[in-house]
Structure 1
Amino acid sequence: MVVNHEEFRAYVQSRGAALLRVANQITGNPSDAEDLLQAALAKTYLAWEKIKDRASLDGYVRRAMVNINISWWRRRKLEEFPAERLPDVPIQPEARNRYDELEQALDRLPARQRTAIVLRYYEDMSEMEIARALGISVGTVKSSVSRGMAKLRDDLLVSADRKSLN
């Protein structure tokens, strides 16, 4: 891959300020805008020889900035952010133990039932979405979830009874 460095440099020098303004509008933060533009220009540099229509360069860079910003935003969603105040009630050790018991009970379920329950109640997927994801019928999803939930209830009830005896 041979990149015309001078042509790329000239493009960045002539359009850099305008592209930075677009990046600033996308991010709302000058330092994030600089990072975003830098990442988009790096992508553009790698694709430079593939972009035959030089008149569409601004559109290519803008689209790259939007895609990169969305990707960064999705990644940031998973991070922790400070709250204005702490939660009123901390998680009690008993609640943590129940959570652990639930995880262990889930592990004891057959794979299809466990997967259907996790997708339904942890991932909040509809029965139709689960059926498509697993390649099974909606009826099979319903019966798997129903049977799995019954086993979980029994397992957790037995676990609670054992604790009350101790």
Structure 2
Amino acid sequence: MDLSPTTRQAAAAAAPPDFLEFAAARGGPLYRTAYLLTGGDRHLAEDLVQEALSRVFVRWRRVSRLENPAGYAQKVLFNTFVSHRRRRSSRESAAHELPEPAVLDADPALRVTLLQALQTLSARDRAVVVLRYWEDRSVEETAAILQLSSTAVRSRTHRALHRMRALLGDTFAERAAG
């Protein structure tokens, strides 16, 4: 992880000398760990190390007094990686297969009605319904994604569907079936 001369000068002006020594000494080992964590993605590994070192720098006055600042930096790197994976899971990612072709909506009014009914649910209940029925996830997958128990997913699903049925009424069931 080489820094450009301009970046090095700016860092030297802002950072205490002991942090610069620490970063120079620990940058390589942190990079190797990040490289393994990312499965060989050099660019992401560099970004993770940079983010971890910047977080350590912000707390350097306290970190430098710790018994093991290198261990603290390692923990920050792992937390940064996990946080990145969590954020990334909600973004688009490349797929090896093309998605299913879009289906033309035969009844746009039905779709709007469903979306309005979904908006009346709490955020957590809405997430359960969307994961279970729109994304066709299992109870266990939904529980893992939302960090809930399987029982909580089942009870939230039951309550949310009950609320939606009460809002939509019997005529909706007939429209959806026909």
Establish whether TM, by shorter chain, passes 0.5: yes
Alignment of 1:1-166 (within 5 A): 5-27=16-38, 28-51=40-63, 52-53=65-66, 55-94=67-106, 97-106=109-118, 114-115=121-122, 118=126, 120-122=128-130, 129=152, 145-146=161-162, 148-157=164-173, 160=175
SS of the counterpart of 2:69?
A: helix
SS of the counterpart of 1:94?
A: coil
Tell me how far apart the structure 2 counterparts of residues 143 and 4 of structure 1 sit (CA, whole Å): 55
Task: Give the percent of matched residue pairs that are identical in Structure 1 and Structure 2.
Answer: 25
Deviates more, 1:88-97 or 1:26-35: 88-97
Aligned length: 146
> Residue 22 of structure 1: CA displacement?
1.5
> Residue 68 of structure 1: CA displacement?
0.8
Can you give the 5+ residue segments of structure 2 that lack an aligned partner in the other structure? 1-13, 132-141, 144-148
Can you give the 5+ residue segments of structure 1 that lack an aligned partner in the other structure? 131-137
Tell me how far apart the structure 2 counterparts of residues 18 and 84 of structure 1 sit (CA, whole Å): 33
Tell me how far apart the structure 1 counterparts of residues 51 and 77 of structure 2 sit (CA, whole Å): 8
Whether contact under 8 Å (2:30, 2:49) holds in the other structure is yes
- Residues 18, 50 of structure 1: alpha-carbon distance in 2 compared, 3 angstrom cutoff: same
> Residue 7 of structure 1: CA displacement?
0.6
In our comparison, the structure showing a higher alpha carbon Rg is 1
Which whole-Å deviations, capped at 9, do the CAs of 1:91-118 have from their partners, x for residues lacking one?
22226553222113445xxx5xx33853
Tell me how far apart the structure 2 counterparts of residues 143 and 39 of structure 1 sit (CA, whole Å): 42
Tell me how far apart the structure 2 counterparts of residues 127 and 11 of structure 1 sit (CA, whole Å): 45
TM-score, normalization by structure 1: 0.67
Whether contact under 8 Å (1:102, 1:156) holds in the other structure is no
> Residue 153 of structure 1: CA displacement?
4.3
> Residue 45 of structure 1: CA displacement?
0.7
The structure in which a higher percent of residues are helix is 1
TM-score, normalization by structure 2: 0.63
Tell me how far apart the structure 2 counterparts of residues 77 and 12 of structure 1 sit (CA, whole Å): 30
User: CA RMSD of the aligned region, Å?
Assistant: 3.5
